Amino acid sequence: MTGCAKRCKQGLIKFALSLHKLVTGTLIKDKADDDLEMTMVCHRPEGLDQLEAQTNFSKRELQVLYRGFKNECPSGVVNEDTFKQIYSQFFPHGDASTYAHYLFNAFDSAHTGSIKFEDFVTALSILLRGSVTEKLQWTFNLYDINRDGYINKEEMTDIVRAIYDMMGKYTYPVLKTDAPKQHVDAFFQKMDKNRDGVVTLDEFILSCQEDENIMRSLQLFENVI
């Protein structure tokens, strides 16, 4: 399970970097040109000061991220189809559509059917610079598909199958048909502390904090920007 989760986290980082690279690619100039261009940025998201207060990004970082977001999404919002197209670029040998659907829903916390810059940067702030608890809570919400506060075996099976589909046959050349079930069983053996058939947020956080591999995988997010 930890190997799959780690690969998905790497995929999410790649998605964030895809927007960031759109910006940094245009800013590889001398510093004078860069500073001049930044002073000319006039199309900023509403409430930039508020976003700075609500996230772990500086105002300059928010300006840079916003420019990349607008370059990729001129309308200022990302719908699910566009999100899937962007995310699937990083998994050319598999089908990332189902996992991207779950990921889109996690970013679209207000369930509006689209991701605004505010949604994107708020989630990115948690994933890149949030506390361990904040990162794990965000991940729990990703896995809790029906938003009832628990992860059940059906939800985890759907997530694991989506991960396998996303990674593709070249990643798992000898994949057995019961491999997803084995991963789900291992997940619940580790996480379901009271053996009631569901995993709560507290159980999830405690189990992850006890796992060195998961803690190391969370560090992949640090210093991306």
First to last CA, the chain: 27
Domain termination site, one of 78, 94, 128: 128
Residues 154 and 217 in one domain: yes
Domain termination site, one of 70, 101, 128: 128
The CATH number given to whatever domain includes residue 209 is 1.10.238.10
- Give the integer Cα–Cα distance in Å for 214 and 136: 10
Residues 152 and 194 in one domain: yes
Residues 179 and 112 in one domain: no
pLDDT tier, 220 (very low <50, low <70, confident <90, very high otherwise)? low
Residues 13 and 94 in one domain: yes
Picking from 180, 191, 182, 179, the residue whose alpha carbon sits closest to that of residue 152 is 191
CB–CB of 144/151 below 8 Å?
Answer: yes
Q: Is residue 29 part of a domain?
A: no
Question: pLDDT tens across 72-94, in order?
Answer: 788 888 999 999 988 888 888 88
- For 158-162, what is the mean pLDDT? 92
Residues 14 and 122 in one domain: yes
Model pTM? Answer: 0.76
* Residue 151, beta-bridge partner list: 199
CB–CB of 23/64 below 8 Å?
Answer: yes
Residues 52 and 95 in one domain: yes
In Å, how far are 33, 67, 76 from 44, measured between CA atoms?
Answer: 20, 8, 11
Greatest extent of the chain over all pairs of C-alpha atoms, in Å: 61
Question: pLDDT tens across 110-124, in order?
Answer: 899 999 999 999 999
Residues 99 and 136 in one domain: no
Domain termination site, one of 111, 128, 145: 128
- Give the integer Cα–Cα distance in Å for 217 and 40: 38
DSSP 7-75: HHHHHHHHHHHHHHHHHHTT--S-HHHHHHHHHT-----TTHHHHHHHSS--HHHHHHHHHHHHHH-TT
Instruction: Specify the number of domains making up the chain.
Output: 2
Residues 88 and 160 in one domain: no
Residues 178 and 207 in one domain: yes
- Give the integer Cα–Cα distance in Å for 204 and 216: 16
pLDDT of residue 40: 39
Residue 114 belongs to domain spanning? 9-23+46-128
Residues 101 and 139 in one domain: no
Amino acid, res. 143: Y
